[in-house]
Amino acid sequence: MRAFIVALIGAVLSISNATAHDGSDCAVAAHLVTADFPLPRVAAAIANKQLDIVVVGSASSLLTAPNGTPEAYPVRLEAALSKRLPGVKVKVTTYAKPRTTADAMEKEIERAVATDKPALVIWQTGTVDAIRRVDPEVFRTAIEEGMDAVAAAKIDLVLMNPQYSPRTESMIGVPPYADAMRLIALQHEVPLFDRFAVMRQWGETGTFDLIEATKKMDTAERVHQCIAELLADLIVQAAKLTGPNARGNIK
Amino acid sequence: MVDVSADKPALHPGGTQRSAGISTPVSHDLPAAGSRPLTPAVGRDLRLDLFRGIALWLIFLDHIPSNIVSWITIRNYGFSDATEIFVFISGYTAAFVYGRAMRERGVVVASARILKRAWQVYVAHIFLFVIYLAEIAYVSRNFENPLYAEEMGIFDFLRQPDVTLYEALLLKFKPANMDVLPLYIVLLAAFPVYLWALLRSPMLALAGSLVVYVSALWFDINLPAYPEGTWTFNPFAWQLLFGFGAWCAIGGAQRLAGFMRSPVVLGLAAAYLLFALAIVMTWYFPRYSYLVPKWLSDWIYPIDKTNLDVLRFVHFLALAVLTVRFVARDWPVLKSPSLRPAILCGQHSLEIFCLGVFLAFAAHFIMVQVSEAVWAQVLASAIGIALMVAVAWLLSWYKNIEGRSPGSRPPDADLAGGEA
C-alpha cells in the first residue's frame, strides 16, 4: 500500500527521473528506482575498467530454463551493464539458494566478500523470511550484520526486497519485510532496488500478467530482463553520484 | 441478550440485566474502590461499540492486500492502528462484563465464563485456519508460474499436514493476518487472575500488568511460534493495553477524567499526534526523510509492533484522549441511524472479526480471479463492510428472538458470553 501511494503520488506529480527505455514498457516503474545514495567503489571499478558484482539471494534470483540455461536477472544484468559501460569488463557472480532466509544468507555474504572481493554486492532477500514469518527483529539484525560485513570489506551494497506476487499475497505477509528493507536502506544510506514496488506497478498497469498460471518461461524472462535493465540504471546512476552524502542529488 | 437497540434503554432496566447477556458495558460510573456493586444501567456507552465496530472495519480493509481503500485507515497516519483500539476496548468490555459476574456470582463462576469465552475464540480461530488451508490448497493445485517458484514455498506447509495442523492447534503456526485471535485467547485465558486482582486493588493490578510488560521487553519474553521465531503479537507486551482497558472499566476512567480534560494533556496529545503524522509522512516521501534528525530516527526506529512499542501505546493514548474529549458519551449522533451500522458490528465483535478475516481472504481471492482494478478494490471493500453490517444485524435479530421467546435457553447459556 505504502509503495502504491508513493507510486501514485509520483505519477501525479510527474516526478520521474526515468532513464529513457525506448520502446521498453517496463519503464513505467522507472520512477520507483532512484539512486539516493552513491556507490563509490563501483565508480572506482568503472574507472579501472573492471566491475565485479556478486549477487546473493534466494530462488527469485534463479530462473533456469528447462534446458538448464540460467535466465535470471543476474546474467541479464551483466549484459545490461556491459551495454551501458562500454570498455568496462563486467562480471556478475550469483550465489543464490532456494529457501534461504536473510540470516542464512548473511553467512554466505561474509564468505563471498572474502573470496570474490567484488566492488558491489547485490543482496536480494525477504521472501523466505516472509514465508517462514521470521521475527522482524531477527530479520533486521541479519541484514544489518550482513551490511556491516560488506562495509568492513570496503565493498558497495545494493539491497533488493521481495517480489510482488499477487496470487500469494493474502497468504504471505510480504509488505512488512519489504518495508523493513526500505527503512534499513534509508537509515544506512544504501541504495535499494524496490523490486516489490516496481513489480506491483507492472502488475497494476498491466505491463505484465503476474496472475496467470503457466509453465511457460516467457513472462518470467521478460520480468527478469526488466529487473536487470532498471537495476543496471540504478547502479550506473548511483556510481555517478559523488560525495559522502548525495541527498542533494536526488531529482 | 435481551435488547440490542440502543435507543430503547428502558426495555432493560439495570436490575434485570444478566451479566452473561450484556453485549456491552452499560455504565462505568463506578467508584474507584471497586468494592461496591455496579451502579444500575443508565444507558450504554455506545462509543465503545462505535469505535470497536470501526476498528473491525479498518482491520478488514487492512487485511485485503493491495487495497486502495486501506489508504483511509489510521495506520497510515500514525504509529498505532486498529489493533490497539480493538485490544483496548476488548479489555474494557471484558472487565465490565466479567467484573460484574465476579462480584455477583463469585470468582469461580466468572472465571468459568471467561474461560468458556476463550474456548469460543479458540474454536473460531481454528475455523478460520481451516478456511486458510482450503485456500492455499486450492491455489497450490491451480497456480504454477516459474516466476514465483520461491513463493510456492508457502505450500510446503501442505506437505506435512500432521505437523502443520498440530502446530496450528497449539497456536504456534499462525498464517499471515491471523495473529489477533490467538492473542485474544491468551489474554482471556489469563484474565481471571488479573480481574480478581483488579477488583481487590486496581492500582496494584495495573502495576502488575506494567511489570509484566517491562519484563517482557527487558528479558525478551514471548511465546514460541512455528516454523520459527515468536508470536507476532507478544501477549506479554500486549496485555498492558488489555489490562489498561480493564482498569479503565473498573473505575480507572473516572480517575483519569480530570487528567484527560486538562488542556495541557489535550495539547500534548494533539502535539504527539502531529509528530507521529509528520514521521509517518516521511515513510511515504522518503526524499524528506533527511528532515528527521539522525538522533531521533536512531531513537524511534524500529517501531516494534510485536512488543507494543511505547510509541504505539502513547499514540493510542493520545487518540483516546482526543476522542473522549470530542465525542461525548451522550453525543446525540451516537443514537442516529448513520452510526448504527458501526455500532451493530462493534456489539458482535468476535463474529464480525472472524467474518472480516474470511471476507478479506475472499475479496482478495475474487479480485485475483476477476479484476484487481481500483474499482474492484473499492467494490470489494464496500461489499465486505455491507456484509459485516448485515450479519451483525442478523445476529442482533437472532439474539432478540432467542431472548424473548419463552422457554428459550437460560441466560447463563447465552452463547455471547457477554461479548467481551
What values do phi and psi take at A133, rounded to 5?
55, 50
Residues of B numbered 3-62 whose beta carbons fall under 8 angstroms of chain A's beta carbons: which are they?
none
Q: Measuring CA to CA, which residue among A168, A163, A127, A121 is closest to residue A146?
A: A121
With a cut of 80, say whether residue B8 has pLDDT above it.
Answer: no
What values do phi and psi take at B128, rounded to 5?
-65, -35
pLDDT of A26 reads 82
pLDDT of A22 reads 34
Residues A36, B286: C-beta atoms closer than 8 Å: yes
pLDDT of B407 reads 54
- Quote the percentage of chain A above a pLDDT of 90: 67
Residues A132, B68: C-beta atoms closer than 8 Å: no
Tell me what ipTM this predicted complex has: 0.85
Q: Is there a contact between A216 and A209 (Cβ–Cβ < 8 Å)?
A: no
Partners of B393 in the β-ladder:
none
With a cut of 70, say whether residue A3 has pLDDT above it.
Answer: no
Lowest mean pLDDT segment, chosen from A167-176, B30-39, B71-80, B91-100: B30-39
Q: How far is CA A40 from CA A47, A121, B115, B131, in A?
A: 11, 13, 61, 51
Q: How far apart are CA B241 and CA B252, in angstroms?
A: 13
Q: Is there a contact between A239 and A43 (Cβ–Cβ < 8 Å)?
A: yes
Q: Spell out the domains of chain A, with CATH numbers in brackets.
A: 2-10+28-243 (3.40.50.1110)
Residues B177, A133: C-beta atoms closer than 8 Å: no
Q: Measuring CA to CA, which residue among B75, B292, B277, B286 is closest to residue A6?
A: B286
With a cut of 90, say whether residue B268 has pLDDT above it.
Answer: yes
Whether B135 and chain A come into contact, CB under 8 Å, resolves to yes
Residues A167, B289: C-beta atoms closer than 8 Å: no
Of the two residues A20 and B182, the one the predictor is more confident about is: B182
With a cut of 50, say whether residue B136 has pLDDT above it.
Answer: yes
Q: How close does chain B come to A76, measured CA to CA in Å?
A: 15
Whether B287 and chain A come into contact, CB under 8 Å, resolves to yes
Residue A221's H or E segment, with its range, is: helix A218-240
How does residue A204 score in pLDDT terms, banded at 50, 70 and 90?
confident
Rounded to an integer, the average pLDDT of A128-148 is: 94
With a cut of 70, say whether residue B394 has pLDDT above it.
Answer: yes
With a cut of 60, say whether residue A248 has pLDDT above it.
Answer: no
- Quote the percentage of chain B above a pLDDT of 90: 66
With a cut of 60, say whether residue A19 has pLDDT above it.
Answer: no
Q: Whole-angstrom distance between the N-terminal and C-terminal Cα of chain B?
A: 13
- Using a CB-CB cut-off of 8 Å, the residues of chain B touching A128 are 150, 153
With a cut of 70, say whether residue A24 has pLDDT above it.
Answer: no
Residues of B numbered 300-329 whose beta carbons fall under 8 angstroms of chain A's beta carbons: which are they?
301-302, 304-306
For A34-61, the pLDDT digits (tens) are 888 999 999 999 999 999 999 999 999 9
Q: Closest to A168 (Cβ–Cβ): which among B67, B148, B301?
A: B148
Rounded to an integer, the average pLDDT of B364-389 is: 92
With a cut of 90, say whether residue B42 has pLDDT above it.
Answer: no
With a cut of 90, say whether residue A66 has pLDDT above it.
Answer: no
Instruction: Please give the grid coordinates belonging to residue B153.
Output: 514455498
Q: How many CB pairs under 8 A join A and B?
A: 153
Q: What angle do CA B164, B168, B172 make, to 5 degrees?
A: 105
Instruction: Please give the grid coordinates belonging to residue B198.
Output: 483488579
Q: Measuring CA to CA, which residue among A165, A200, A186 is closest to residue A1?
A: A200
The amino acid occupying position B103 is: R
Instruction: Please give the grid coordinates belonging to residue A71.
Output: 535466465
Lowest mean pLDDT segment, chosen from A175-189, B225-239, B364-378, B405-419: B405-419
CA quadruple B377, B378, B382, B383: dihedral sign: negative
Whether B412 and chain A come into contact, CB under 8 Å, resolves to no
- Using a CB-CB cut-off of 8 Å, the residues of chain A touching B172 are none
For A224-237, the pLDDT digits (tens) are 999 999 999 999 99
Rounded to an integer, the average pLDDT of B209-215 is: 98
Average pLDDT over all residues of chain B = 86
Instruction: Please give the grid coordinates belonging to residue B158.
Output: 501442505
Q: Measuring CA to CA, which residue among A23, A77, A17 is closest to residue A225?
A: A77
Q: How far apart are CA B58 and CA B72, in angstroms?
A: 9
Q: Which residue has the cell 538448464?
A: A68
For chain B, the domains span: 33-39+47-413
Which of B148, B283, B298 is the best substitution to test chain A (most A C-beta atoms within 10 A)?
Answer: B148
pLDDT of B357 reads 94
Rounded to an integer, the average pLDDT of B281-301 is: 84
Rounded to an integer, the average pLDDT of A151-173 is: 94
Instruction: Please give the grid coordinates belonging to residue A114.
Output: 572474502
pLDDT of A242 reads 66
pLDDT of A118 reads 96
Q: How far apart are CA B375 and CA A246, in angstroms?
A: 40
Q: Which residue has the cell 497516519?
A: B77
Q: Peptide bond preceding B227: is omega within 30 degrees of 0, i.e. cis?
A: yes
Q: How close does chain A come to B419, measured CA to CA in Å?
A: 28
Say what the pTM is: 0.85
Residues B176, A172: C-beta atoms closer than 8 Å: yes
Q: What are the DSSP calls for A57-100, one per residue?
A: E-GGG--B-TTS-B-SHHHHHHHHHHHHSTT-EEEEEEEE-TT-
Residues A213, B301: C-beta atoms closer than 8 Å: no
What values do phi and psi take at B200, rounded to 5?
-85, -50
Q: How far apart are CA B354 and CA B130, in angstroms?
A: 12
pLDDT of B418 reads 45
pLDDT of B393 reads 97
With a cut of 80, say whether residue B342 has pLDDT above it.
Answer: yes
pLDDT of A89 reads 97
pLDDT of A5 reads 55
- Quote the percentage of chain A above a pLDDT of 70: 86
Q: What number of CA atoms fall less than 13 Å from residue A186's CA on the CB side?
A: 24
Rounded to an integer, the average pLDDT of B290-317 is: 91
Lowest mean pLDDT segment, chosen from A16-20, A129-133, B379-383, B392-396: A16-20
Whether B285 and chain A come into contact, CB under 8 Å, resolves to yes
What values do phi and psi take at B136, rounded to 5?
-70, -30
Q: How far is CA B359 from CA A170, B54, B170, in A?
A: 11, 16, 25
Q: Which residue has the cell 508457502?
A: B154
pLDDT of A21 reads 37
Length of chain B: 420
Of the two residues B411 and A166, the one the predictor is more confident about is: A166
Partners of A156 in the β-ladder:
A120
For B57-114, the pLDDT digits (tens) are 999 999 999 889 999 999 899 999 999 999 999 999 999 999 999 999 999 999 999 9
For B165-186, the pLDDT digits (tens) are 999 999 999 998 899 999 999 9
Whether B288 and chain A come into contact, CB under 8 Å, resolves to no
Q: How close does chain A come to B169, measured CA to CA in Å?
A: 18
Q: Measuring CA to CA, which residue among A182, A128, A165, A159 is closest to residue A3?
A: A182
Residues of B numbered 144-163 whose beta carbons fall under 8 angstroms of chain A's beta carbons: which are they?
144-154
With a cut of 80, say whether residue A9 has pLDDT above it.
Answer: no
What values do phi and psi take at B35, rounded to 5?
-95, -20
Residues B284, A6: C-beta atoms closer than 8 Å: yes
Residue B175's H or E segment, with its range, is: none
Q: Is there a contact between B281 and B209 (Cβ–Cβ < 8 Å)?
A: no
Q: Is there a contact between B176 and A133 (Cβ–Cβ < 8 Å)?
A: yes
Q: How close does chain A come to B108, measured CA to CA in Å?
A: 38
Whether A206 and chain B come into contact, CB under 8 Å, resolves to no
Q: How close does chain B come to A213, measured CA to CA in Å?
A: 5
Q: How far apart are CA B410 and CA B300, in angstroms?
A: 52
